[in-house]
Amino acid sequence: MKSAVSSLVSSKNQSHSAISRPILQHSSKPISQTTFFIPTIPRNTKNLYSQRYKKLQIRPNSTSVMASSFKPEQASVPPALPLPTPPVTKFNIGLCQLSVTPDKGRNIGRARKAIEEAAQKGAQLVLLPEIWNSPYSNDSFPVYAEDIDAGGDASPSTAMLSEVSSRLKITIVGGSIPERCGDKLYNTCCVFGTDGKLKAKHRKIHLFDIDIPGKITFMESKTLTAGETPTIVDTDVGRIGIGICYDIRFQELAMIYAARGAHLLCYPGAFNMTTGPLHWELLQRARAMDNQLYVATCSPARDAGAGYVAWGHSTLVGPFGEVLATTEHDEDIIIAEIDYSILEHRRASLPFAKQRRGDLYQLVDLQRLNSN
């Protein structure tokens, strides 16, 4: 065995000398005149290879075997739900990129005005930013937190959202605010229907704990508790999956929403000046393209003097990963059209659902699995 290996190493060295050196020295010889030495593997070494790696050898009929083992229906557990027929085919979404100040009353009033303006411009669905009623800081979260379940004076921010959605007959994905529940704080998004009733409440699942030396350090977990439930809600403008900011980085959550039949994913978020330029649009387009649905995001406007500076650039992305509408970093309102009729067309063009390898991998939705 030792002599066989030595012979192989020697042959490899000869091969390297003959092939690599002329190329590295930019030989002027035509490739047809260049000498190549193909090392001869000793017989006993070839036999050893055949015995040890026999199972890895490709068989002539391997392609047909693999094709017959595709099990797309088993790639999601429980099986993915068919895309439901939405209540509307086309509608306008409004993304309200808001300036946030330490004045909570001012923040609530500005959000109300922006929602009303978006509705006047034809928006049937309005999306607000992450933490729009409070500065984004661990010191501020406990001070500005509201008891959403108690409502009324205990939660003036959601009381406003409820009143406006009912009066204007629109659906509101209310960004997020700090929520107090018992002795815990959450980063929470509330969805209100056209009747003003709270349809869903999403608590941020993935907390924003990062440390990029010399750039940014932030630990939401110092004050906030992580949510434990994916949130998908049927509204008058379709089935919507909800995530908050850092949640967008985890493709599994978006895949679960897609497997539950979501038409649209909404992510209120406040990416920063370090990760925003690199990842904000990239992640939105990836989530939309991978799952072949719409993705809408809404950020606070940028305040260079704040303790946490938001990147801005609220955006709507289509199911082909195309940016349909976006803004810069100032306070702004975007109105853009969503057309669900193209979802099936995009999915027919790239039939991911029929090509998933259920024989190799599975997405397991534990919440659905345990509820059956």
Beta strands in the chain (DSSP E): 76-77, 90-97, 123-127, 171-173, 177-181, 184-192, 198-203, 209-212, 216-219, 231-235, 238-242, 264-268, 294-298, 315-317, 323-326, 332-339, 363-364
User: 329 and 276 in contact (C-beta within 8 Å)?
Assistant: no
**Catalytic one among 146, 204, 266, 298?**
204
Separation between Cα atoms, residue 134 and residue 103, nearest integer Å: 8
Separation between Cα atoms, residue 102 and residue 96, nearest integer Å: 19
3-state secondary structure of 137: coil
Measured CA distances, 295 to 42, 84, 264, 320 (Å): 59, 17, 6, 11
Separation between Cα atoms, residue 166 and residue 172, nearest integer Å: 10
- 199 is an active site residue: no
**Catalytic one among 130, 146, 220, 281?**
130
- 163 is an active site residue: no
Phi and psi at 176, nearest 5°, equal -150, 155
- 266 is an active site residue: no
User: 301 and 97 in contact (C-beta within 8 Å)?
Assistant: yes
Contacts of 152 (CB under 8 A, 6+ apart): 159
Separation between Cα atoms, residue 16 and residue 24, nearest integer Å: 11
Separation between Cα atoms, residue 294 and residue 343, nearest integer Å: 9
**Catalytic one among 96, 189, 190, 245?**
245
Give the catalytic positions in this structure.
Answer: 130, 204, 245
